């Protein structure tokens, strides 16, 4: 495809993909807003810490099986021994490792007993969020299985739409029934919503795959069919995902040790609002990613034009979003309830950093496709180490603003460094809003 045709396709494809992702983000944000309105900032913060821990543990127990599904699963699952073995292996792994993780978390919690304020259950919600670990890992594997079988709409539905809608419905039903909505009750309700979603979509996938095959499955000679081959690819992918997640969540975890426990909830509210920028990052990489290798093969001018197009699209979305978060920070934080307006400065700091990251979102992918994936991984590892160490120091000394400043500094430093490396290694300009025409 000629470059002009490719750029026209990107212009058409990005808005609908962004719209779908934005709706999913909005639904998940509504869940956290509902939690914040019924909980004190300190308890909301503890619940957000538990949710972040759940996401990281679910990545670990899945062993990267969801991320490697597109490589090993055929387009049709019915009658495929390889598909059945793959899904059974990673499904069993999720259950077994989730049980081990639950046992470890409960052992640590009982050894270091810590009763939370206004918590009738007497335990940190991370003890109960282990219920969601196998559910979330299962939803991730199911979504990527739908994607591997060329059903992108169904892939987006379970985690992005059905789960949050069902969760919100159960939360408000419990509220109307005069249930006491503690942090732990939120976890139990969301676990029920997630388990229901997983069961319904897994059953639906089984029904879909009962249709007769048009082509025989697993006809590739010598195709990788064993756990060893699967794990050789999935474990590095899992490791990269864990490093990225740790960079994102380290300041929140560090604030648990801060003197003012309400800072955890305030930072959680700020991050929830600013995560809207991640929609831009994710969608840009999803839409433009497949074209990067061809652009590099065609030469620096093609890469420059593609980079310029992506940056213009990102800037057109990031700039208005940044303005909204800065100018309307007060009303947006009021959605979370009383007392959250103290997070205004944190919103400004984090939003500015994520806006820059959105404009440079493709730089890591340029390096990946240009043969410098190890450089990207090394950068992520250094960023994670700096984020953890600096967050622990700054959170205890400066609280909310210290954690937000560390997050912003690491995100900006990583983004600028990778942009410089993309220019030096591949000739992809850091700023290419007005490229030279071919």
Which of 327, 387, 398, 399 shows the shortest CA–CA distance to 41? 399
Backbone angles phi, psi at 338, to 5 degrees: -70, 140
Report the pLDDT value the prediction gives residue 117, as an integer from 0 to 100. Answer: 41
Q: Which of 19-28, 86-95, 138-147, 316-325 has the highest mean predicted lDDT (pLDDT)?
A: 316-325
Over residues 123-130, the mean pLDDT reads 74
Which of 60, 84, 61 shows the shortest CA–CA distance to 72? 84
Q: Which two tokens stand for residue 368?
A: 């990946």
Whether 413 is covered by a domain: the verdict is yes
Asked whether residue 272 falls in the same domain as residue 125, the answer is no
Bigger pLDDT: 340 vs 322:
322
Report the pLDDT value the prediction gives residue 221, as an integer from 0 to 100. Answer: 39
305-318 as b/e, with b when 16 or more CB fall inside 10 Å? bbbbbbbebbeebb
Report the pLDDT value the prediction gives residue 120, as an integer from 0 to 100. Answer: 44
Q: Which two tokens stand for residue 371?
A: 């043969």
Q: Which two tokens stand for residue 270?
A: 């700020």
Q: Report how far apart the first and last C-alpha atoms of the chain are (Å, whole number).
A: 15
In this model, does residue 79 exceed pLDDT 70?
A: no
Whether 219 is covered by a domain: the verdict is no
| Predicted confidence band of residue 173 (pLDDT cuts 50, 70, 90) | confident
Q: Which two tokens stand for residue 61?
A: 């127990």
Asked whether residue 390 falls in the same domain as residue 307, the answer is yes
Asked whether residue 155 falls in the same domain as residue 266, the answer is no
Q: Which two tokens stand for residue 417?
A: 């460094």
Report the pLDDT value the prediction gives residue 24, as an integer from 0 to 100. Answer: 80
- Residue range 349-401, pLDDT digits in tens: 999 999 999 988 888 888 887 888 788 888 888 998 999 899 888 888 888 88
- Number of folded domains in the chain? 2
Which of 187, 204, 434, 422 shows the shortest CA–CA distance to 308? 434
Asked whether residue 65 falls in the same domain as residue 152, the answer is yes
Asked whether residue 252 falls in the same domain as residue 206, the answer is no
Report the pLDDT value the prediction gives residue 122, as an integer from 0 to 100. Answer: 56
The length of the chain, given as a count of residues: 438
Report the pLDDT value the prediction gives residue 434, as an integer from 0 to 100. Answer: 53
Whether 193 is covered by a domain: the verdict is yes
Asked whether residue 309 falls in the same domain as residue 414, the answer is yes
Q: What angle do CA 107, 236, 377 make, to 5 degrees?
A: 105
Over residues 71-80, the mean pLDDT reads 65
Over residues 221-246, the mean pLDDT reads 73
For the ranges 57-71, 128-142, 158-172, 387-401, which has the lowest average pLDDT?
A: 57-71
Asked whether residue 155 falls in the same domain as residue 256, the answer is no
Last residue of a domain, one of 151, 184, 214: 214
Asked whether residue 208 falls in the same domain as residue 244, the answer is no
Domain extent at residue 115: 39-214
Over residues 83-102, the mean pLDDT reads 85
CA torsion through residues 199, 17, 50, 270, sign? negative
CA torsion through residues 9, 15, 20, 24, sign? positive
| Predicted confidence band of residue 89 (pLDDT cuts 50, 70, 90) | confident
Q: Which two tokens stand for residue 411?
A: 């995100």
Whether 34 is covered by a domain: the verdict is no
Over residues 129-157, the mean pLDDT reads 79
Backbone angles phi, psi at 120, to 5 degrees: -75, -10
Over residues 9-34, the mean pLDDT reads 78
List CB contacts of 438: < 8 A, sequence separation 6 or more: 3, 301, 302, 305
Asked whether residue 306 falls in the same domain as residue 428, the answer is yes
Bigger pLDDT: 355 vs 83:
355
In this model, does residue 151 exceed pLDDT 80?
A: no
| Predicted confidence band of residue 118 (pLDDT cuts 50, 70, 90) | very low
In this model, does residue 426 exceed pLDDT 60?
A: yes
Over residues 5-17, the mean pLDDT reads 70
Over residues 300-318, the mean pLDDT reads 85
Q: Which two tokens stand for residue 266?
A: 């305030």
Task: Report whether 98 contacts 133 (CB < 8 A).
Answer: yes
Report the pLDDT value the prediction gives residue 339, as an integer from 0 to 100. Answer: 79
Last residue of a domain, one of 154, 180, 214: 214
**Alpha-carbon distance 166 to 144, whole Å?**
21
Q: Which two tokens stand for residue 347?
A: 């919103």
- Residue range 184-209, pLDDT digits in tens: 778 788 888 888 988 888 888 777 76
Q: How far is CA 348 from CA 142, 357, 392, in A?
A: 37, 14, 21
Whether 223 is covered by a domain: the verdict is no
Q: How far is CA 421 from CA 172, 318, 358, 368, 384, in A?
A: 49, 23, 17, 11, 18
In this model, does residue 251 exceed pLDDT 70?
A: yes
Over residues 43-55, the mean pLDDT reads 80
Report the pLDDT value the prediction gives residue 417, as an integer from 0 to 100. Answer: 94
């Amino acid at each position: 495809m000629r470059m002009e045709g490719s750029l026209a396709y990107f212009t058409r494809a990005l808005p609908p993909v962004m719209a779908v992702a934005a709706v999913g983000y909005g639904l998940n944000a509504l869940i956290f807003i509902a939690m914040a309105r019924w909980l004190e900032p300190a308890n909301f913060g503890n619940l957000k810490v538990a949710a972040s821990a759940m996401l990281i543990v679910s990545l670990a127990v899945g062993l990267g099986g969801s991320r490697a599904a597109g490589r090993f699963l055929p387009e049709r699952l019915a009658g495929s021994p390889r598909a059945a073995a793959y899904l059974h292996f990673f499904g069993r792994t999720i259950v077994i490792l989730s049980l081990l993780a639950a046992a470890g978390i409960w052992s640590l919690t009982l050894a270091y007993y810590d009763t939370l304020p206004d918590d009738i259950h007497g335990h940190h919600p991370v003890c109960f969020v282990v219920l969601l670990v196998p559910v979330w890992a299962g939803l991730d594997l199911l979504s990527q299985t739908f994607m591997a079988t060329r059903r992108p709409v169904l892939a987006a539905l379970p985690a992005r739409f059905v789960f949050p809608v069902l969760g919100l419905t159960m939360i408000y039903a419990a509220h109307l029934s005069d249930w006491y909505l503690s942090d732990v009750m939120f976890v139990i309700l969301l676990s029920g919503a997630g388990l229901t979603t997983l069961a319904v979509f897994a059953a639906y996938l089984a029904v879909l795959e009962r249709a007769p095959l048009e082509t025989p499955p697993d006809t590739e000679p010598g195709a990788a069919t064993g756990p060893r081959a699967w794990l050789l690819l999935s474990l590095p992918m899992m490791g990269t995902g864990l490093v990225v997640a740790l960079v994102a969540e380290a300041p929140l975890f560090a604030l648990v040790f801060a003197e003012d426990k309400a800072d955890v909830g305030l930072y959680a509210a700020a991050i929830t609002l600013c995560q809207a920028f991640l929609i831009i990052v994710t969608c840009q990489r999803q839409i433009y990613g497949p074209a990067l290798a061809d652009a590099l093969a065609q030469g620096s001018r093609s890469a420059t034009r593609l980079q310029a197009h992506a940056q213009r699209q990102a800037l057109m979305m990031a700039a208005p979003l940044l303005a909204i978060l800065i100018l309307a920070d007060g009303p947006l934080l009021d959605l979370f309830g009383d007392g959250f307006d103290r997070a205004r400065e944190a919103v400004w700091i984090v939003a500015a950093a994520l806006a820059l990251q959105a404009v440079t979102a493709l730089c890591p992918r340029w390096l990946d496709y240009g043969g410098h994936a190890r450089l990207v991984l090394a950068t992520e590892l250094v960023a994670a180490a700096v984020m953890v160490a600096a967050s622990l120091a700054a959170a205890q000394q400066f609280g909310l603003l210290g954690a937000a400043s560390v997050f912003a500094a690491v995100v900006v430093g990583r983004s600028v460094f990778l942009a410089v490396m993309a220019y030096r290694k591949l000739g992809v300009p850091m700023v290419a809003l007005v490229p030279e025409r071919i």
